[in-house]
Structure 1
Amino acid sequence: MVVAIRADLAQVCVYVRPTQVERKYALRLGANQSVISTDLLVITGNLFTSNMAVMKTYFTLFTLWTFGNVACITVIDLSSKANVTWSIENKNGSVKLFGSVPGGIYSDLMKAGIIGDILSGFNDVASRWVAYDSWTYTGQFTIKEVPATYVAHLVLEGVDTVSFIEVNGSPVGSTNNMFVRYVFDIKPHLKAGVNEIKVSFASPIEVARSRSKKYFTAPACVPELYHGECHANQLRKMQASFAWDWGPAFPSVGLWRPAYIEFYDTAIIRSVTIHTSKVNAHWLLRIIAHLESAKRRQVYGYLTASINVDGNQTIKVGEYVEIDMREDGANEIELNMTISKNVISLWWPNGFGKQPLYDLHVIFVSNKSKEIYDVHQKIGFRTLEVVEEDTSLLPGNNTAGPGLTFYFKVNGYPIFMKGSNWIPANILPELGGDKKTVDSLLLSAREAHMAMLRVWGGGVYESDYFYQRCDQLGILIWQDFLFACSMYPADTEFLNSVKVEIEQNVIRLQHHPSIAIWAGNNENEVALRGNWYATSSEFITYKEDYIKLYVNTIKPIVEGLDPGRRYVVSSPSNGKESEQEGYIAQNPYDPSYGDTHYYNYFLDNWNQNIYPKTRFASEYGFQSLPSLLTMSTATKNESDYNVHSQYSVHRQHCPGGYGYIDYQMTRHLQLSTNDPKHFEKYIYYSQISQAMSMKAETEFYRQSQADWYTMGALYWQLNDVWQAPSWSSIEYGGKWKMLHYFAKSFFAPVLISPRRLLTNDVEIYLLNDRFVPVTGGIVTIDYFNWSSLTPIKSIMFAANADPLSSKKLSINIQLWKEKIDEIFLRFSLTADGVTRTPCNYVFPKPFKSVVGLKKPSIQIKVSNTTESVPEGIRYNIDITVDTVVLFLWLETTVPGGHFDVNGLIITNNIVSVHYVNQKQVLPHDLEKSIAYKYYLN
């Protein structure tokens, strides 16, 4: 056995046939273990200096693998402070500091105290000088002896964005795409002793401006209200980093993903793509190993794949490899497996089943050097198709109109997709993959019954961890490619860069069962057809560039690498109908086809009757402000706490944003400008208005499954990048807005959902997102006046619903016969096997106009009894009231947890809620910390 142990290099790997004792010793070393066959264990880890003596002792216990001598793939981790020291300097040398990899210039400058918190006050503008300067990252590391391997590659997983790279003073390459992994041959330039890597970044603002002079593409700039920068569409860079209507501009530079040097003799497996298909009683698993080596060389070896399936079984295949590498140093090898369906459990979206994942190991052993390279992936088995079929063929269709359906069929079942849109988790890309933040957001999405998130086209391809967690949580991903709200250039340099970007990222992400669909861009079809950027005079030219980019360049790459998934050219689009119309439809918002984005702030957003029909609502939303608690992390200046303050105006990037919020609030709620707590209430009321608007629209789409075959509702947006007005349901920092609590209800698997018509008749729908029918259902409709917790009358109806359906019930409520300013209606459901479903309400008059609403007496009591749950410790809370309470909002100063429900409509004397926290707190202390607010005219 050959064990490569080098104190000056970043990794050690050992290949052994392990005994239980040897496993124990490896664990004591802090090593990572990966079992790749019944008699082979791979141990890897950063085990240096202080561990060396211990390592040598323990490794003598390991037995020789019968294959013979094997060698390691040696890696220098350029992220490790033990291996490399990074320094940063600006163009004129006036700023010098230590750097981080992965990292970025803004986060490094903050760490060094050269700039303050970039999200505080007006620092987005005050620190803009950073993006106009040029920065050089220099890394120094020592190698006692350069490994005598055939290949020595510098691998940069993410370079943001335009840079020139040198090793020991010699140029080795350049970069121009933030989303591309760059691999450079640096073998001729390495030496024993101190080595230096220099990455010289150009100002992204200046490069974008320069390119625009050659290849101008509309629009020139973001709106002035964004306080952003121009020509983001000229760069393959996170488009939102130049500012958006929900976020600030931070055009960063840096090595935002890992960097390392690889040493090997033969070849490595860079990626593995998999293709699953169900044929009768078997799954066919097609495995493609993407090998990488030096250019134009022959590679010999043995490729094997093994998968652990149900019943403690392992299935293996392998073949001898004799292959010539291409000019780009890559080539592919295919292996195939046939697996009985009896040893595979299906992967399901959240709310519809479990998410079993299977360990797949693909191993390449070189014939000459005996190097081993092992890639481990967790894969899921499921079928998924986007169904676009003639609606006239739907059984019994007499309401869905002409056109095509647009829905996701998973494992043979049509699934209504409930969810939201994901923007980057941080405006600085190097921080967006923070595991704690990703976990918090994805778990919050799962808790709100979401089965799909749309990764929006102005952000980044997310971290591997993000997609792994989506696999585990059952959250399907609608993945936009990263083009948004712009026309884009189609010059050769740009298209060549895009080709590499698309190929690499499809290969990287393709194996995840969570990936559901690819979309070429966000809103660029509707922007061109709708003349958003005054392009009508050059429509033909822009259309040609559009087709060059999304159809001629991206489409064949995606469909060649991932033929099993649908690629739509844009979102929104008319899907197949847009393709039939030459990829720019006459009306890309046609409700009879594809997906739609809908925003209209000039009508009453609380009124379900204003919303359009659609096959799939992939974007819709309404703004609110973040809480004072979240806002206080950006400013503690009391004078800023005013809608008209310079601070508040600066943070509102949506043109007319506060006016739209005012308009919706004042239609329904009463708020005096003379109120001493005006701003605090304004925030609270904005969240009420947002929650009620999104509730109305989302339930309209869920109801419309019954008569228009609407099959998806992904509201805009899940998360925030700073403390400002936005469409999010979760504030920056993770605090839930009222909307997210409402989403738990309006996305509930079973829901009784009323719709008040303009005639003041009320239709009632029973929504059932389960594989079993609703049987034995009883709908209770309670009429209340505003001054009492006792219903003035109650009506009960029988109700049942088919699986996976929206059913309009034959119940007719005629509110026009009632004194509607004095009453409201509560709807509840009981049914066989339905353990809990939210109540729902109809409020016939705006709250500001109701008669009889009184100031309540509210008592809150936290029980001394607590429960342990997977999320932490659950506290039971009883709320006692003496009258109807609207939008009771609970807050606590105890950090690290949240209530299970909030923004409550209380119509019972006693209501129980729960508070879950990761850390233990005394019930008495929790009780004292709880504050509340409610709506009262």
Structure 2
Amino acid sequence: MAPHTAHETIPLDSGWEFKQGNRDSKNEYLPANNVPTEVHRDLLKNGKIADPFIDLNELSVRWIADETWTYRTSFTTPDHYSADTRAEQKTVLRFEGLDTFASVYLNGQPILESDNMLIEHRVDVAGKLYARDDKNGINKENELEIVFESARKRGLKLVEDHPEHRFIVHQTEVTRGPVRKAQYHWGWDWGPLLLTAGPWRPISLETYVARIEDVWLEYHLSDDLARATGKAWVKTPGSVDDVTIQIRKISSPKEKLGVTENAVIDFQGQCVQGIAEYEFDIPVELWWPSGYGEQTLYVLEAQVQPKSPDNASGGNFASHRVSKTVGFRKTELIQEQDDIGTSFYFRINNTDIFAGGSCWIPTDSFLSQVTPERYRDWIKLADEGNQAMIRVWGGGIYEPNAFYDACDKLGILVWQDFMFACANYPAYPAYLASVEEEARQNVRRLRNHPSIVIWAGNNEDYQIVERYGLEYRYEEDKDPQSWLKTDFPARYIYEYLLPKVISEETKGVPYHPSSPFGNGKSSVLKVDPTVGDVHQWNVWHGEMKPYQLLPHMGGRFVSEFGMEAYPHLSTLEKCVTEDKDRYPGSMAMDFRNKAIGHERRLVSYVAENFRIRYDLPNFTHLTQVMQSDAITWAYKSWRRQWGTKGKRQCGGVLVWQLNDCWPTMSWAVVDYYLTPKPAYYAIKRSMQPIVVGVTRKFNDWTMRHADDLWKRDTSHIDMRQVWTDVEFDAWVASSKTESLRGKLELKTFSIASGQEGSWRREFDVAVEPNGTTEVVKGCKIEPPTPSDPDSPFKPSKADPFVIYAVLTIGGQAIATDVSWPDPIKYLDFSDRGVAVEYSDSNSSITVTVSKPVKGFVFEEKERVRLSDNGFDLVPGESKEVYIDSALEGTYAPEYRYVGI
């Protein structure tokens, strides 16, 4: 007799139809995409709606959110499903994600009610499938139907049903508060309002005699990090004879999974009450963040053999095998008292890591169309941009395995939020039960990814507490049950339930109550530079301070800050299709930019700093250069504050945001089509292993800001100071763990003539390992043509200059930096003497100038990669940019620079 299958998965991905209305609706069924899918995609497939990513079409599809939608498919009962085997064999429908209020019917009978998009369901359907009649060739098809109700309407009903709770939400209408659905679907200040519905993750039919529910590791590394001691666990709900566990090292993990070496662990044992465990003490090679070592990974594989039944009819069963990729690393969040307050930085494998990187939002408004390859492309882009960390923001989803697999293989650290953002969430019993199931499922799924180094309870919910005066007595009230009776009951979730889940389900990963969060005292829930992590939004939002002040606006860890910019013209032309709408401030352009007050804020920042040119190509360029400038001020200055061991003023910086969920203008440094903006390259340059920084003292010519640091006694500024009061610092930052020696050269170039100035300095530098080396502080340069203070100031007689820094190690130029006088708009950029030469194969471009150039930007397109963009140039230096193009034919990009 052939063996019965221990575990078989049959994807139910094809043959789906959908219609508007419930099961009884007389509306016509239409063909749907293969599952996973969403209703907007299926309506688009059938020509029923216009593409909501184009022009103003988003407005024309808002009605979809208020409708009920029904999906159905049919499938044949598996051929090994019979009266003889049903008693021994389980048959389960697995729903990996239903969006969101879903009623599931099998052959007309209800089998599941779901109200949480972020969890999966397994439904035992043994005895509910139609029996096979192979003898007579009559096998009736099973019908699977799923009815999706309006999440918005159900949200309104839940708000009405719970008047005891004070529902407060930012960014969107109140209906998202009680609904466990990706919060950004209600729209955000960077994304459209597209309330999706449908089977957004795979659906399958599983049959098994025994199956592995989960396999995972818990371990502790020895002091020398050479050995791992711990347990390997296997959980199986079935009855099994034996369990086999193996751990095998993977070779060449950086690019792809290679062949596996001999097993480090090979264990066979018994499963007791559904759990098998094996204690181990083994030598290991470590998983390191990118740039610090190899990303060594292991395969953890388990296999179970079902027990033989008493009767002879089913006595021969095949086994079930499951494998996961794991890594060994030690993670610490260092929060120690120091001269500033309390530190906040990560130590991986006993090495301090400056976590420079970015925040991550869901990469599409329609998640079902994102492929594993696209996730890998995104993470590879972060890695190539020298980013060390990515923060999965709490208003989206727990990303699919492909996202974290890519982070594991490429060495990107993950800050993982739980899915709560910008709201006062309820905590009634049914909601708490759903949240706990959501948390446990996702922590279990993700717990052995070495890339995940922190879990955070939410995004900005404690800011809601302060803004609305909700009850939060951190020191006085330590009783979790009492928190449920306050108007901030979600404290129970963030400070009791979620840390409890983390402690029970995973080991070795710290938990942080929120982002941002200080030490729990109400006086430091807002931005406090001495403790915790901060979201710094007084540039762009809030006080709209000049971005040149960002160096003085940091904290122990900056987990959000940002500046807006347009994407490249190639992206704008895809989503704004009418020539008449392709100008800054058109209805189509303003509608697409969701940021509150962007009409004033973006223009203000551009106009303060640059000579504004309001046609689309030039305005696009200026927004990009302005964003890149702001990002540069932040990253290089906050990385400088990394300091030295024991004196870590700033532990990391994560820009808001890496990506977009649709084609738009936003804070993203890479647009929806994976086309980088110049700010992406600014981060790449600022996060090189060794960088040099040179920054002038900032003279605020706008005079709108009078805080303690920049307070003045007059409302007028002496404009001579902008160009003549030159005081600067220079430093070197290194992530290398070894000491290096080099030479720092500083010189000046006239912006008007391009001539090198007479001022020049050289310094021998002993580069501090994994830290900052201060080389020059408060150095002053006298103006080349000082003016008589009693005579009228004549800008034409002044000679403003750039300061150029070059760090040389071993005779090779390792890093450069350029410091400009602010504002750029006061400078004359005529006759720059720019020369652009393409290599014979068009694989590289070389740029030279005869006078200093600001913001040289190549126009980029989808499927093209440049080695650098958005850079500054000085005379005597050439810039070679390498091109990796998947486009047909020759790619010779257009370019712009300030004042072209």
Q: If the TM-score is normalised by the length of the shorter chain, which range does it land in?
A: 0.7 to 0.9
The answer to whether the Cα contact below 8 Å between 2:3 and 2:317 also exists between their aligned partners in 1 is: no
| Residues in 1 aligned to 2:852 and 2:880: alpha-carbon distance in whole angstroms | 17
| Residues in 1 aligned to 2:299 and 2:534: alpha-carbon distance in whole angstroms | 38
Correspondence list, 1:173-188, <5 A: 173-188=112-127
Deviations 1:596-626 (A, max 9, x none): 1001134553414663241111111111122
**Higher deviation after alignment, 825-834 or 878-887:** 825-834
Quote how far apart the aligned CAs of 1:891 are: 2.4
Quote how far apart the aligned CAs of 1:796 are: 1.2
Letter in 2 for 1:315: V
Alignment-derived partner of residue 22 in structure 1: none
Alignment-derived partner of residue 612 in structure 2: 671
Quote how far apart the aligned CAs of 1:126 are: 0.8
| Residues in 2 aligned to 1:380 and 1:708: alpha-carbon distance in whole angstroms | 27
Alignment-derived partner of residue 737 in structure 1: 677
The answer to whether the Cα contact below 8 Å between 1:779 and 1:827 also exists between their aligned partners in 2 is: no
Match of 2:829 among 853, 857, 872: 853
Match of 1:318 among 267, 271, 278: 267
Distance 1:827 1:215, change over 3 A: farther
Alignment-derived partner of residue 437 in structure 2: 500
Letter in 1 for 2:687: F
Partner of 1:806, secondary structure, is strand
Quote how far apart the aligned CAs of 1:322 are: 4.7
Distance 1:152 1:481, change over 3 A: same
The answer to whether the Cα contact below 8 Å between 2:169 and 2:424 also exists between their aligned partners in 1 is: no
Match of 1:424 among 362, 369, 372: 362
Alignment-derived partner of residue 822 in structure 1: 799
| Residues in 2 aligned to 1:96 and 1:747: alpha-carbon distance in whole angstroms | 53
| Residues in 2 aligned to 1:630 and 1:93: alpha-carbon distance in whole angstroms | 41
Alignment-derived partner of residue 511 in structure 1: 448
**Higher deviation after alignment, 646-655 or 486-495:** 646-655
Quote how far apart the aligned CAs of 1:902 are: 1.1
Quote how far apart the aligned CAs of 1:817 are: 4.6
| Residues in 1 aligned to 2:613 and 2:380: alpha-carbon distance in whole angstroms | 38
Alignment-derived partner of residue 308 in structure 1: 248
Alignment-derived partner of residue 936 in structure 1: 899
Letter in 2 for 1:277: H
Alignment-derived partner of residue 467 in structure 1: 404
Correspondence list, 1:449-460, <5 A: 449-460=386-397
Partner of 1:639, secondary structure, is helix
Partner of 1:231, secondary structure, is helix
Deviations 1:579-610 (A, max 9, x none): xx4xx565343221111100113455341466
| Residues in 2 aligned to 1:921 and 1:164: alpha-carbon distance in whole angstroms | 48
Quote how far apart the aligned CAs of 1:734 are: 1.1
Deviations 1:456-485 (A, max 9, x none): 000111111111010000001000000000
Partner of 1:292, secondary structure, is coil
Alignment-derived partner of residue 618 in structure 1: 559
Alignment-derived partner of residue 290 in structure 2: 350
Compute the TM-score of the two structures, normalised by the length of structure 1.
Answer: 0.82
Alignment-derived partner of residue 718 in structure 1: 658
Number of aligned residue pairs: 813
| Residues in 1 aligned to 2:207 and 2:672: alpha-carbon distance in whole angstroms | 42
Alignment-derived partner of residue 731 in structure 2: 765
Distance 1:810 1:218, change over 3 A: same
2:100 maps to 1:161: yes
Alignment-derived partner of residue 889 in structure 1: 857
The answer to whether the Cα contact below 8 Å between 1:152 and 1:187 also exists between their aligned partners in 2 is: yes
The answer to whether the Cα contact below 8 Å between 1:302 and 1:321 also exists between their aligned partners in 2 is: yes
Deviations 1:880-924 (A, max 9, x none): 43333221111266x5212211112121356242333354766xx
Deviations 1:771-823 (A, max 9, x none): 11231x11111211113444123321111222110122245421465569623
Distance 1:446 1:314, change over 3 A: same
Quote how far apart the aligned CAs of 1:153 are: 0.8
| Residues in 2 aligned to 1:915 and 1:114: alpha-carbon distance in whole angstroms | 44
Partner of 1:253, secondary structure, is coil
2:189 maps to 1:212: no
| Residues in 2 aligned to 1:195 and 1:834: alpha-carbon distance in whole angstroms | 74
Match of 2:817 among 830, 840, 846: 840
| Residues in 2 aligned to 1:920 and 1:737: alpha-carbon distance in whole angstroms | 19
Distance 1:534 1:679, change over 3 A: farther
Deviations 1:809-844 (A, max 9, x none): 245421465569623333333343696534212112
Partner of 1:792, secondary structure, is strand
| Residues in 2 aligned to 1:543 and 1:524: alpha-carbon distance in whole angstroms | 13
The answer to whether the Cα contact below 8 Å between 2:471 and 2:488 also exists between their aligned partners in 1 is: no
The answer to whether the Cα contact below 8 Å between 2:662 and 2:672 also exists between their aligned partners in 1 is: yes
Compute the TM-score of the two structures, normalised by the length of structure 2.
Answer: 0.86
Query: Aligned-residue CA RMSD in angstroms?
Result: 2.6
The answer to whether the Cα contact below 8 Å between 2:470 and 2:487 also exists between their aligned partners in 1 is: no
Alignment-derived partner of residue 256 in structure 1: 200
Distance 1:727 1:714, change over 3 A: same
| Residues in 1 aligned to 2:321 and 2:812: alpha-carbon distance in whole angstroms | 47
**Higher deviation after alignment, 487-496 or 549-558:** 549-558
Distance 1:573 1:838, change over 3 A: same
Alignment-derived partner of residue 18 in structure 1: none
2:362 maps to 1:386: no
| Residues in 2 aligned to 1:466 and 1:360: alpha-carbon distance in whole angstroms | 19
Deviations 1:864-893 (A, max 9, x none): 257xxxxxxxx1222243333221111266
**Higher deviation after alignment, 786-795 or 457-466:** 786-795
2:742 maps to 1:781: no
Letter in 2 for 1:151: K
Match of 1:593 among 519, 531, 546: 531
Quote how far apart the aligned CAs of 1:628 are: 2.1
| Residues in 2 aligned to 1:910 and 1:590: alpha-carbon distance in whole angstroms | 42
Distance 1:540 1:103, change over 3 A: closer
Partner of 1:120, secondary structure, is coil
Relative contact order (alpha carbons < 8 A, sep ≥ 6): 1 or 2 greater?
Answer: 2
Match of 1:570 among 488, 509, 514: 514
Alignment-derived partner of residue 711 in structure 2: none
Distance 1:269 1:353, change over 3 A: same
Quote how far apart the aligned CAs of 1:367 are: 2.0
| Residues in 1 aligned to 2:887 and 2:117: alpha-carbon distance in whole angstroms | 43
Match of 1:906 among 847, 863, 873: 873
Identical-residue share of aligned pairs (%)? 25
Partner of 1:470, secondary structure, is helix
Partner of 1:143, secondary structure, is coil
Quote how far apart the aligned CAs of 1:669 are: 0.4
The answer to whether the Cα contact below 8 Å between 2:9 and 2:207 also exists between their aligned partners in 1 is: yes
Partner of 2:396, secondary structure, is coil
Quote how far apart the aligned CAs of 1:135 are: 0.5
Quote how far apart the aligned CAs of 1:358 are: 1.4
| Residues in 1 aligned to 2:472 and 2:147: alpha-carbon distance in whole angstroms | 36
Partner of 2:468, secondary structure, is coil
Alignment-derived partner of residue 182 in structure 2: 238
Alignment-derived partner of residue 32 in structure 1: none
| Residues in 1 aligned to 2:633 and 2:278: alpha-carbon distance in whole angstroms | 50
The answer to whether the Cα contact below 8 Å between 2:246 and 2:263 also exists between their aligned partners in 1 is: yes
Partner of 2:462, secondary structure, is helix
| Residues in 2 aligned to 1:879 and 1:260: alpha-carbon distance in whole angstroms | 55
Unpaired runs of 5+ residues, structure 1, are 5-70, 294-298, 325-330, 392-399, 867-874
| Residues in 2 aligned to 1:420 and 1:800: alpha-carbon distance in whole angstroms | 30
| Residues in 2 aligned to 1:367 and 1:213: alpha-carbon distance in whole angstroms | 52
The answer to whether the Cα contact below 8 Å between 1:110 and 1:117 also exists between their aligned partners in 2 is: yes
Distance 1:645 1:533, change over 3 A: farther
Deviations 1:187-212 (A, max 9, x none): 12101321011111111111111101
**Higher deviation after alignment, 875-884 or 184-193:** 875-884
Quote how far apart the aligned CAs of 1:539 are: 10
The answer to whether the Cα contact below 8 Å between 1:603 and 1:610 also exists between their aligned partners in 2 is: no
2:21 maps to 1:90: yes
Quote how far apart the aligned CAs of 1:409 are: 0.5
| Residues in 2 aligned to 1:920 and 1:243: alpha-carbon distance in whole angstroms | 33
| Residues in 2 aligned to 1:680 and 1:95: alpha-carbon distance in whole angstroms | 47
